[in-house]
Amino acid sequence: MDFHPDLIRFLKKATRVAALTGAGVSQESGLRTFRDAQTGFWQQYRPEDLATPRAFARDPKLVWDWYAYRRETAKGAHPNAGHYALAAMEKIIPEFTLITQNVDGLHRVAGSQNILELHGSILKVRCSECGTYADEWDEGLDVLPRCSKCNGYLRPAVVWFEESLPRPQLDAAVNAAQTCQVFFSIGTSGVVHPASALAHTAKAAGAVVVEVNAEPTPLTAKADFVFHGRSGEILPGLVQAVWGE
């Protein structure tokens, strides 16, 4: 793939880069997106009806079991070339911030370290009452695991519908968007707020905006460089073209 000389020049000179990733990146590792049709037992439910505080209050065991199923699926997935390309960028660029809407932990497995997990992590659990994170818990029991500190029910450490994003991570993401020289929007529809505003924040602050996505999004018309295709193919090619790695 040929990359515009201006993009290569911008990246060679850049010392501050931010990247936002969405479900499309994980999809290339074989993980179903959140809104994909469910399979097996879970096809009778809509994800939107399971991922809310009200759903957990109504039937905590059902919600816990759904996330346990999704957690095991995530553990069985492997990072793809796009994940590894972003990890490579972090090692090259002095200030590289990876902002992700994904909860599967694949960026960390690929070697990325400076990660802002806006929607939390499906691999972690915390108490629904006191918020304490649990290092270990019993899986597969008929009863819901409880917090060792206050005996409240444990829940997945993800952001549900009707819940706010964690303020420290969101503030850090906005700061990265405001101060970066190049901003990547990768594998995301660009419609989930407030993450969808980050690219526009970066653009308004003078950053070069690069979109990598399977299909056009609301951001496409405003991005400086647009690539329609698989991030697992485009990003490694870009890293090779810019840094020869």
- State the amino acid at position 109 in one-letter form: V
Q: Which residues contact 5 (CB under 8 A, 6 or more apart)?
A: none
Dihedral sign, CA of 126, 130, 131, 134? Answer: negative
Report the alpha-carbon distance of residue 240 to residue 238 in Å, rounded.
5
Cis upstream peptide for 156 (omega within 30°): no
| H-run or E-run covering 239 | helix 231-243
Q: Which two tokens stand for residue 232?
A: 């697992």
| Active-site residue, selected from the candidate residues 119, 193, 200, 228 | 119
Catalytic residue at 119?
yes
C-beta contacts of 52-60 below 8 A and 24+ residues apart:
52/160, 52/161, 52/162, 53/160, 53/162, 53/163, 54/162, 56/128, 56/153, 56/155, 56/160, 60/128, 60/144, 60/153, 60/155
Positions marked catalytic: 119
